[in-house]
Amino acid sequence: MMTWRFLTFLGWMVAGGLAGGLLELQFHSDYGPVLGCIAVALLWFLRDTSHAIQLLGWLRSDEMDCAGLKGGVWGDIASRVRRLLRQRDRSIADAENRLHDFLLALQASPNGVVLLNPQARIEWCNQTAASHFGLNPQRDVQQVIGNLVRDPAFADYLSARKFGSELQIPGRNSTPTCPVNLSVQIHPYGGGRLLLLSRDVTALEQALAMRRDFVANVSHEIRTPLSVLAGFVETMQTLDLSEAERERYLHLMAQQAVRMQTLVSDLLTLSRLEGSPVPGVEVWTRLTSLMQQLEQDAQALTQVIRPLHGQAHHLVFECQIDVQVAGVAHELHSAMSNLVSNAVRYTPAGGNIGVRVSGLPDGRAEFVVTDTGPGIAPEHLPRLTERFYRVDRSRSRETGGTGLGLAIVKHVVQRHGAELIIDSQVGQGTTFHIVFPAVRVRPGDVESG
């Protein structure tokens, strides 16, 4: 390019010299060629300076194209600068897109993310963090995080600059009746900046608490019959008992053994329900068959209880419709049997117990157990399906309950897409409804395919 520029300038000078020679012949001047070369050089200089000024003006402007520079050295420079500018703009656009995608990913994170500068001022935060700490993502930019998160433990954590472990603090909406626990940790990164991560561990803490309560309840439930058994065994080993006393102790020991066996069986049932896949619609169970089994079980149970409480219960079982429901037979039998046995155990002697299968207008099917027992106070109803929850602990133990029956019912109902409804009034009895959705109900005479 420089060679071409030199040759072009030399061509201009030659042309100027020739033009000056012609003028010399016409005007008889001795300096024609020299003046021609000077004039051409001056013209070249002015033209070159004009292009340079035009290029500088373009570089100072925000325009992408320089219309007046299309050829020559200055045009080539302008073209190369224009190419570099386009590359720069593409690089900036790519970087902005990558930053936008990165921020979108952080925005979608289930954890709170806050970017802090070296002075712990907020540079950016996602919506999760804003919800955790009560921040405004636009208004609170450049605010000191310590001025907005006023928890004393967090202030000490931030000032100590020892970020090797997590810190748990109450969430923004935490209340004594509805606690919210946040786990926060700060990670230093480039240039002294700080990355604050937060996650809601309320459910985890509740699960841990439930597990602790569960272990404590199981230990307590098993410890009691074991203590009774151990006491009876020691008594029988150390004392000279009559045959009647020995028979009585053996009977009581058998009761405690059955109680432990029932508890273990219910625990295994719950574990199996929680660990197995949700039943699909491939297996169908006919409710008339289940009702026959339930009636037999209820008759046997009421005959066992009758010697203890006197008059037998009045049992009424009726199938108003013949349907099949999509579900596992032994799971459905377990849930329904729990409801029927509870009605028998808690209904006073001579009371009425009704068990019914009926259809609803929208195609759903309903299994209903009604008793004339003591009823349940409204404050107990929301917690009835919790594990080991008992309205009356002493009465529950007298009737042989483990506190897990309704928890099993709830799990079976949920696994089959059904709904459990409990209606009760103190002194008037209780009604349990299991409502199966229409998509899991079909006529009883349909053959399985």
Read off the CATH number of the domain in which 172 is found.
3.30.450.20
Q: Are residues 222 and 333 part of one domain?
A: no
On whether residue 205 sits in a domain, the answer given is: no
Q: Are residues 358 and 262 part of one domain?
A: no
Whose CA is closest to 197, among 141, 136, 145? 145
Contact 424, 431 (CB under 8 A): yes
Which helix (H) or strand (E) segment is 347 a member of? none
On whether residue 148 sits in a domain, the answer given is: yes
Q: Are residues 181 and 48 part of one domain?
A: no
Q: What is the average per-residue pLDDT within 2-15?
A: 64
Q: Are residues 164 and 114 part of one domain?
A: yes
CA distances 346 to 305, 374, 385, 399, Å, are 11, 7, 16, 8
Q: Are residues 77 and 14 part of one domain?
A: yes
Digit-coded pLDDT (tens) for 21-56: 665 555 555 556 666 677 767 776 777 777 777 767
Q: What is the average per-residue pLDDT within 215-239?
A: 79
**Lowest pLDDT segment from 160-164, 273-277, 360-364:** 273-277
On whether residue 294 sits in a domain, the answer given is: yes
Q: Are residues 235 and 180 part of one domain?
A: no
Q: Are residues 255 and 165 part of one domain?
A: no
Q: Are residues 250 and 130 part of one domain?
A: no
Q: What is the average per-residue pLDDT within 218-241?
A: 80
Q: Are residues 349 and 221 part of one domain?
A: no
Residue in the structure block whose two tokens are 């459910």 = 203
Give CA–CA dist 166/150, Å, rounded.
17
CA distances 48 to 42, 70, 152, Å, are 10, 14, 71
Q: Are residues 250 and 304 part of one domain?
A: no
pLDDT score, position 310: 58
Q: Are residues 141 and 152 part of one domain?
A: yes
Give CA–CA dist 55/49, Å, rounded.
10
Total domain count, the chain: 4
Other C-beta atoms lying within 10 Å of the C-beta of residue 345: 19
Which pTM value belongs to this model? 0.55
Structure tokens at 318: 């009726």
Q: Are residues 430 and 284 part of one domain?
A: yes
Q: What is the average per-residue pLDDT within 188-205?
A: 88
On whether residue 311 sits in a domain, the answer given is: yes
Digit-coded pLDDT (tens) for 235-282: 888 888 788 888 888 888 887 887 788 788 878 887 787 777 788 788
Give how far the C-alpha of residue 437 lies from the chain's centroid of Cα atoms, to the nearest Å: 26
Q: What is 333-360 written as a DSSP string?
A: HHHHHHHHHHHHHHSPTT-EEEEEEEE-
Contact 266, 308 (CB under 8 A): no
Q: Would you call 374 helix, strand, or coil by DSSP?
A: coil
75: containing domain: 2-101
**Lowest pLDDT segment from 143-147, 210-214, 314-318:** 210-214
